[in-house]
Amino acid sequence: MKKAIIVGCNGQDGKLLSSFLLKKDYQIVGIGKNRTVAPDGFPVGPVDIKNTQEVFGLIKELKPDEIYYLAAFHHSSQANPVDDIDLYKQSFDIHVFALVNFLEGIKQFSPRTRIFYAASSHIFGEPEKGIQNEDTAINPICVYGITKAAGLFACHLYRNNYSIFASAGILYNHESLFRREEFISKKIITAAINIKRKKQEELVLGDLNAEIDWGWAPDYVDAMHRINNAQKADDFIVATGKKHKVKDFVKTAFDYLGLDWKRYVRQDSSIITKKNYCRIGNPQKLMDKTGWKPSVDFREMIRLLLIEEGV
């Protein structure tokens, strides 16, 4: 039976990955905010991922087969602004320094452990070409992207210098029932249902013409597992390769509920606190190397989101 550590087990991807691995008979230790979840009999106490010695102790004790580093500090484009210094500090703490604790712990105490790092399309910033692949220049323009890129480079260092199996998935937008309220997909689905039930009168969005590469989160969790079990550690784009406007998402969701979206949705660009850039990923390398492919398309994804919310 394989053992896996999921760092960030309480987030969307962590919850989905936990379920995915349990079906494959993994023993899982999950690390979330302020707590660690482990099967009965595992000698694991609370682990602070920013504490080097606590992480070392966990890896030395468990010697896991796989680690999935999914922890992230998110700040959406429509959320209240955060002080830049605090944003940098929290982002580097989670995306880089805590990650290095795990990389170094593997190097010193469990060199056969494989680690997957959840990077982000934000590492590409505002790319010149319409679609990105693994050779696209890394040129982040926001704190999230800068620190996610730094985490990616840390994986490169341990992979190239110490032969650690450290792979990264460069993840594009992926949706599920577990998305937090500040994400635009969740806002649209929730509002559409509330309007249908006459609990809400309108939905206000910042940019209806913003273009996004949207995927189904359970598919992306499958990709993570495939990447961590590939023949060779590497970086992989995890995306659909298809773009849709926010307007397309809104129209599809409202259509499923028999609503004319134009009656209920309006645009207010003043609520956007940072610019959105169109990033579309090419997953061909992932498909060629692991056999992965998306199982759910855009319209079906939205239908499933509505069904999961009880519609």
Structure tokens at 275: 């610019």
The pLDDT assigned to 276 comes to 72
The pLDDT assigned to 24 comes to 96
What's the pLDDT tens digit per position in 240-286?
Answer: 999 999 999 999 999 999 999 999 999 998 887 667 778 999 999 99
What's the pLDDT tens digit per position in 209-230?
Answer: 999 999 999 999 999 999 999 9
What CATH number did the domain enclosing 166 receive? Answer: 3.40.50.720
Query: Comparing C-alpha atoms, which of 106, 98, 123, 118 is closest to residue 33?
Result: 98
144, part of any domain: yes
199, part of any domain: no
- C-alpha to C-alpha distance for 110 and 103, rounded to whole angstroms: 10
191, part of any domain: no
Q: Is residue 310 pLDDT above 90, yes or no?
A: no
pLDDT confidence of 77, banded at 50, 70, 90? very low
55, part of any domain: yes
Query: CA 129, 135, 141 angle in degrees (round to 5)?
Result: 60
CB 39 within 8 A of CB 27: yes
Report the Cα 175 to chain-centroid distance in Å: 9
193, part of any domain: no
Q: Is residue 38 pLDDT above 90, yes or no?
A: no
CB 177 within 8 A of CB 309: yes
Residues composing the chain: 311
**Strands 165-171, 235-238: pairing kind:** parallel
What's the domain count of the chain? 1
pLDDT confidence of 43, banded at 50, 70, 90? low
259, part of any domain: no
| Per-residue buried b or exposed e for 83-107, using 16+ beta carbons within 10 Å of the residue's own CB | eeeebeeebbbbbbbbbbbbbbbbb
What's the pLDDT tens digit per position in 85-121?
Answer: 999 999 999 999 999 999 999 999 999 999 999 999 9
CB 289 within 8 A of CB 234: yes
- Prediction pTM value: 0.93
Give the range among 69-78, 117-126, 174-183 with minimum mean pLDDT. 69-78
Q: Is residue 51 pLDDT above 80, yes or no?
A: yes
Range of the domain at 49: 3-176+216-240+279-294
Output the CA torsion sign for 216, 220, 226, 229: negative
205, part of any domain: no
82, part of any domain: yes
Structure tokens at 289: 């190397």
